[in-house]
């Protein structure tokens, strides 16, 4: 299977993974054949990409880091919290803690080294999916850095609720499909203080979680907000969530812009190491993120083109690639697999929209 933009799918392609609505009902079952009407309906729903099965991607399976059922259930639980009218003033820390403990347990049990949050999602459920993804990325980073169980729980609560202050921001601004005005941007920036206030009014919310909500937009060089803190003035947990937040935001389609490819996001964020992001934390974060997820079309330095077939856990950015097109641009009658970890002269030069 491979992930394909809806703009690039062909009528007759078959869905490799089911697509769920936010209430966990099946929008499109596995094996469904795409028709013009279905493609249009998915776009109307805010879906921008799907997993398909075709000849070139046979026997390619996207490894699960966390069971899809857990991700879907967690998203539903977050939605219930955010839909509760009381969220604008307070929330229940005990309920959030149970969610976080389940995520920690799943992560610690996972045999996958690479975090692959491959859930197909609607643009409209961005806030809920983003909250869950940021929590997962933050917890994996915290585990890598050696945080204790209680520290992980506090980190997870803050990560899931890092954007809770946005419930006080007008939807007209949050869902605006064009650039924000200066006044609108200033309004959005208030979500950090609003989040701090909401969590301060809430029971069983650790102080670390409040600080994450308040400081996750601060930057190491003092260019962030709301207080332009620098370096170690920013709590370590907020520095972790800052990285997870930016990574997930840039690798996700939004109403007002298309997502960036992971490899470009990695390059961009590494260029800001020590400036916007804590260098040590960024290195820990990227130990478990690959530039080229399974199913990604890639171009090698030799000119050959193919699909990422599987990860090499000890060298995630030198995967096994299924070669489909040779260096002369000719389609191979029989594809072959090339393990880049055994070929030091070969490397991925670019991504390819197959």
Both 184 and 303 in a single domain? no
Share of the chain above pLDDT 90, in %: 67
Beta bridge partners of 310: 320
Both 134 and 283 in a single domain? yes
For every residue of 237-265, DSSP letters joined together read: HHHHHHHHHHHHHHTS-BTTBPPPPHHHH
Give the pLDDT confidence score for residue 89 in this predicted structure: 95
Give the pLDDT confidence score for residue 123 in this predicted structure: 62
Active site residue 279: no
Q: What are the backbone dihedrals phi and psi of residue 144, each rounded to the nearest 5 degrees, phi first? A: -60, -35
Both 128 and 247 in a single domain? yes
Average pLDDT over residues 180-206: 97
Residue identified by tokens 């909250």 is 131
Give the pLDDT confidence score for residue 347 in this predicted structure: 94
Asked whether residue 37 is domain-assigned, the answer is: yes
**d(C-alpha 255, C-alpha 75), whole Å:** 19
Give the pLDDT confidence score for residue 121 in this predicted structure: 63
**d(C-alpha 97, C-alpha 169), whole Å:** 25
Give the pLDDT confidence score for residue 20 in this predicted structure: 79
291-305 per-position pLDDT tens digit: 888 998 999 999 999
Query: Do residues 297 and 306 touch, judged by C-beta distance below 8 A?
Result: yes
Give the pLDDT confidence score for residue 122 in this predicted structure: 63
Give the pLDDT confidence score for residue 71 in this predicted structure: 86
Which of the pair, 44 or 159, is modelled with greater confidence?
Answer: 159
Q: What is the mean pLDDT of the chain?
A: 92
Which of the pair, 75 or 189, is modelled with greater confidence?
Answer: 189
Give the pLDDT confidence score for residue 47 in this predicted structure: 85
Which of the pair, 115 or 185, is modelled with greater confidence?
Answer: 185
Asked whether residue 340 is domain-assigned, the answer is: yes
Both 79 and 202 in a single domain? yes
Average pLDDT over residues 170-180: 92
Give 254's contacts (C-beta < 8 A, 6+ positions apart): 123, 126
Q: Which of 79, 166, 175, 305 is catalytic?
A: 166
- Give me the domain span that covers residue 44: 2-57
Two tokens, residue 342: 């055994």
Q: What are the backbone dihedrals phi and psi of residue 15, each rounded to the nearest 5 degrees, phi first? A: -70, 130
43-56 per-position pLDDT tens digit: 888 888 888 998 88
Give 257's contacts (C-beta < 8 A, 6+ positions apart): none
CA quadruple 317, 322, 326, 332: dihedral, nearest 10: -170
Average pLDDT over residues 178-188: 95
Give the pLDDT confidence score for residue 87 in this predicted structure: 93
- What is residue 172's three-state secondary structure? helix
Query: Do residues 134 and 219 touch, judged by C-beta distance below 8 A?
Result: no
For every residue of 198-228, DSSP letters joined together read: HHHTSBT--HHHHHHHHHTT--TBS-SSSS-
pTM of the full structure: 0.91
70-128 per-position pLDDT tens digit: 888 898 899 889 888 899 999 999 999 999 999 999 999 987 778 877 666 666 677 88
Both 174 and 141 in a single domain? yes
For every residue of 38-90, DSSP letters joined together read: HHHHHHHHTB-EEEEE-GGGTT--PPPSS-HHHHHHHHHHHHHHHHSGGGGT-
Both 263 and 309 in a single domain? no
Which of the pair, 76 or 21, is modelled with greater confidence?
Answer: 76
Range with the poorest average pLDDT among 17-21, 191-195, 215-219, 292-296: 17-21
- How many domains, in total, are found in the chain? 3
Whether pLDDT at 145 is above 90? yes
Both 140 and 226 in a single domain? yes
Asked whether residue 63 is domain-assigned, the answer is: no
Both 74 and 174 in a single domain? yes
Give the pLDDT confidence score for residue 17 in this predicted structure: 86
pLDDT category of residue 232 using cuts at 50, 70 and 90: very high
The dihedral built from the CA positions of residue 345, 346, 348 and 353, taken in this order, carries a sign that is positive
pLDDT category of residue 1 using cuts at 50, 70 and 90: confident
Asked whether residue 105 is domain-assigned, the answer is: yes
Give the pLDDT confidence score for residue 326 in this predicted structure: 96
pLDDT category of residue 160 using cuts at 50, 70 and 90: very high
Name which of 82, 143, 61 is nearest 110 in CA terms: 143
Asked whether residue 62 is domain-assigned, the answer is: no
């Amino acid at each position: 299977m491979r992930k394909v933009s809806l703009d690039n799918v062909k009528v007759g392609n078959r869905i490799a993974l089911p697509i769920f609505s936010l209430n966990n009902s099946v929008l499109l079952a596995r094996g469904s054949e795409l028709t013009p009407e279905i493609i249009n309906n998915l776009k109307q729903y805010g879906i921008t990409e799907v997993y398909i099965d075709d000849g070139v991607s046979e026997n390619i399976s996207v490894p699960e880091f966390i069971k899809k059922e857990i991700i879907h259930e967690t998203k539903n639980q977050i939605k219930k919290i955010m839909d509760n009218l009381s969220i604008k003033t307070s929330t229940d820390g005990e309920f959030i803690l149970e969610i976080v403990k389940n995520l920690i347990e799943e992560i610690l049990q996972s045999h996958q080294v690479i975090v692959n949050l491959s859930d197909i999602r609607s643009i409209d459920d961005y806030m809920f999916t983003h909250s869950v993804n940021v929590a997962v990325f933050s917890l994996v980073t915290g585990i890598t850095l050696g945080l204790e169980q209680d520290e992980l729980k506090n980190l997870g609560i803050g990560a899931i609720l890092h954007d809770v202050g946005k419930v006080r921001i007008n939807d007209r601004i949050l869902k605006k499909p064009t650039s924000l005005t200066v006044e609108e941007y200033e309004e959005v920036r208030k979500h950090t203080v609003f989040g701090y206030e909401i969590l301060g009014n809430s029971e069983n919310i650790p102080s670390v979680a409040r600080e994450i909500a308040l400081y996750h937009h601060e930057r190491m060089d003092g260019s962030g907000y709301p207080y332009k803190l620098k370096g170690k003035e920013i709590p370590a947990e907020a520095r972790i969530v800052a990285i997870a937040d930016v990574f997930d935001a840039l690798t996700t389609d939004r109403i007002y812009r298309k997502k960036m490819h992971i490899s470009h996001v990695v390059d961009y964020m590494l260029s800001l190491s020590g400036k916007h992001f804590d260098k040590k934390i960024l290195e820990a974060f990227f130990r478990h993120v690959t530039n080229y997820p399974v199913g990604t079309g890639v171009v090698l330095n030799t000119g050959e083109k193919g699909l990422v077939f599987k990860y090499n856990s000890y060298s995630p950015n030198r995967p096994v690639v299924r070669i489909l097109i040779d260096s002369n641009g000719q389609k191979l009658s029989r594809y072959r697999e090339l393990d880049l970890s055994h070929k030091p002269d070969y490397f991925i030069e670019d991504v390819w929209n197959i």
